[in-house]
Amino acid sequence: MEILFITDDNSLKIPSDDRYKLVTTPPDQIEVEKIEGYDMVVVDARNPEAQQIVKSIRQSQSDAIALKPVFLFSTEEIKDMKLQCLSDGKTDSGEPLRIVSHANEISRLVSTLKEFKPENFEISAMLRILRFLYTRSIQLKPMILPTYRYGYIYPFAASQFSDDEDFRIYEILVRLEQEGLLMGNFYDRIHLCNRCRSAFMNFREICPSCKSANLSVENVIHHFSCGYTSEESKFTHGEQLICPKCNKILKHIGMDYEKPSTIFICHSCNETFQEPLVECFCFYCTNRTPVDETVSWDIKTYEITPAGVNCAIHGIMFSFAEFLSSQLDLVEYNDFKKMVDLEIERNKRYKRESSVAVFQVSNLQQIFFEIGEKKNELALEMAKIIKDALRKTDLISVLNESTFLLLFLETPAKNAQIALSRIKNNIEKLLIPNLSTSGKKFIPQITTNVLPVEEFSLNKIFP
């Protein structure tokens, strides 16, 4: 096992033996891409750049780097909670063995992950979060961070976003829960500014008529003998309470007078009222809103579900290929290839023409992600479109999640092209209205190609 120790403390001598090899490098010479070659990383937490180093590892485009076991070295308690959440733990003895088995377990789980590179940013962030939780067998927990805009932060999830768009973290967690990939447990409810989503707000009572916050609250006094009722200050004369209406001195509460309620007085417009309005003032954007118009948001702890684990391993949010196999007879690629070879021989002998086609929807994952709950319905429609364009004798094989191969028997390439165009057009007709919004037209990225069967090879068929 090779361990990369990032420190500029030259006096530190960490024993190394034949079970592991320790390579020490100063923080200013670290190249994140080179981390891939090590089995684990230990970062000296005393270094002021420690957080930035761990964050840049977690932000790497490559899962092999971003999911690397990273431990912190410190002889003292680490106060930086965010740094702790981004790492896999702490070592203090200078003896890395204690954490080696932990690192091995993480690496073992990382090795079970299938290579998958989603093009869509949100999908890749979702996948990264699932993969982190799965390879660490941990929950995603919110942490209080007073300097953070929303008050609660999920450090690993936040590391996947730039600081100005990190509200998307919350939305993505909601999505992952809706998809059944994470299970959320209520932790707290926060109120955010409805304009800028900041949690840094001042809740205050204001005057219903002039909206000033310059209010005071006073007792109301009811004088029994004359029935006069008004705020306490009108009765106050030094130490004594004197009724402004009948000029009698009020002595005993309960006998001479009572204090039935309180009243608010506005010092801007002198209005008095029983119930003030409550308003939120946002320190970030100076927005003023009534309390019931703030954004109320549930903060949860999240754990990965069995479906989430499956998704983490295979990298697939929704398997259209699997869905399609429940609707159509799919053949394995090896069998498909055998049929193609057989068909080439037959064509030579009987002088007929067959063709092979490829059909690829490169943003299929994004499509199923955007469509949300209606995805089964949509997948069914897509399967039907494909089914309708094929004859019973035609073959279909799934190359990967978004790429399908078709063998059109006794069909010349130009006729196969017609069937293929019909599939493409009908799928576009289905997807465009379902996925476009008023502001933005959704374009499915569909690629097709047809070759005479004897020219078929995987290299040639992709245009």
Residues between 168 and 197 with contacts to Zn ion, criterion CB under 5 A: 193, 195-196
Rounded to a whole number of angstroms, the minimum distance from the CB of residue 213 to Zn ion is 10
Partners of 203 in beta bridges: 280
For 219-244, give the secondary structure using H, E and C. Answer: EEEEECCCCCEEEHHHCEECCEEECC
Binding mask of the shown chain, residues 368 to 397, with x at each position contacting Zn ion by CB under 5 A? ------------------------------
Residues with Cβ within 8 Å of 128's Cβ and at least 6 positions away in sequence, in order, are 63, 66, 160
Q: Of 49-57, 228-236, 337-345, 449-457, which part binds Zn ion (CB under 5 A)?
A: 228-236
Give me the amino acid identity at 173. L
State the virtual CA torsion across 272, 277, 282, 283 in degrees, nearest 10: 30
The encoded tokens of residue 337 equal 């290839």
Establish if 245 lies at the interface with Zn ion (CB under 5 A): yes
217 part of the interface to Zn ion, by CB under 5 A: no
Residue among 97, 210, 253, 418 that touches Zn ion (CB under 5 A): 210
Q: Please report whether residue 281 would count as binding Zn ion according to CB under 5 A.
A: no
Q: Which is nearer to Zn ion, 93 or 225 (CB)?
A: 225
Among 20, 281, 284, 333, binds Zn ion (CB under 5 A): 284
User: What is the dihedral angle through the alpha carbons of 63, 65, 70, 73, rounded to the nearest 10 degrees?
Assistant: -160
What tokens does 75 get?
């002889």
Which residues 6+ apart lie within 8 Å of 150 measured at CB?
Answer: 166, 167, 170, 190, 192, 197, 198, 199
Taking the least distance from each CB to Zn ion, the nearer of 72 and 192 is 192
Residue pair 30/53 in contact (Cβ under 8 Å)? The answer is yes
Contact status: 398 vs Zn ion (CB under 5 A): no
Q: Is residue 198 a contact point for Zn ion (CB under 5 A)? A: yes
Is residue 287 a contact point for Zn ion (CB under 5 A)? yes
Write down the least CB distance from residue 285 to Zn ion, Å. Answer: 3
Decide if residue 418 touches Zn ion (CB under 5 A): no
Cβ nearer to Zn ion, comparing 202 with 436: 202
Distance of CA 30 to the CA centre of its chain: 29
Least separation, in Å, of the C-beta of 89 and Zn ion?
37
Residue 45: CB atoms within 10 A of its CB come to 24
According to the binding rule CB under 5 A, does residue 226 interact with Zn ion?
yes
Contacts to Zn ion by CB under 5 A:
193, 195-196, 198, 207, 210, 212, 223, 226, 228, 243, 245-246, 266, 268-269, 271, 282, 284-285, 287
